[in-house]
Amino acid sequence: MNDELYTKRDRMRFTKNSLSSMLVILAILFDVFYFVSIYESDATGRELGNFYYQIRIGASIIYNLVFMLAAFLASEGVKNYKKPYCYVLFVIGALQIVRIFILPAQAASTPVAVGGDMVMGAAQHVRVVAYLLLSAAGCLAGGVIGLIRCNELEAHMASLEKKA
């Protein structure tokens, strides 16, 4: 192993994995954009009927809170090169993709009680799907980069133990 690579890996013992952590924080930010876009619909239009006044919106709020807490915890874990948190990021990234087919898909295909429009317009649907995809991408990228760096650090630590 050349000296530059050795030095880079040895520095990992003393520095944080801030790239993975920042990607996860960015994923949380896109999730915030998602739920603000969803929940503002309810506040601005009484003509939406009672689509949003059902258990699904309560479940969505609870899931958003759990997602943000789990993602923040995972961001702190990957920052400190803890491999299990990378797998947590894979799971919550996949769940963000699954969410596209729940509330946004239902709202985009449900007609408003008055008129022929849908509960969620096409522009809003594209926007919230993009937010969920960007959130999922941040989680998945943070998990992949974290896993790669954890494996590099583990290999480096093993080589140090072998030398000693």
Return the DSSP state at 121. Answer: -
Give the pLDDT confidence score for residue 32 in this predicted structure. Answer: 97
What is the value of pTM for the model shown?
A: 0.88
27 contact partners, CB below 8 Å, separation of at least 6:
71, 93, 96, 134, 135, 136, 137, 138, 139, 142
Compute φ and ψ for 55, nearest 5 degrees: -65, -25
Domain locations in the chain? 19-163
Per-residue pLDDT of the chain (164 residues; tens, 9 = 90+): 688 888 888 888 889 999 999 999 999 999 999 999 988 765 445 555 566 677 888 899 999 999 999 999 999 999 999 999 999 999 999 999 999 999 898 888 877 766 667 778 889 999 999 999 999 999 999 999 999 999 999 988 888 888 87
Cα–Cα dist 6/55, whole Å: 54
Please tell me the predicted confidence (pLDDT) of residue 1. Answer: 61
Nearest to 96 by CA among 36, 39, 31: 31
Report the pLDDT value the prediction gives residue 27, as an integer from 0 to 100: 98
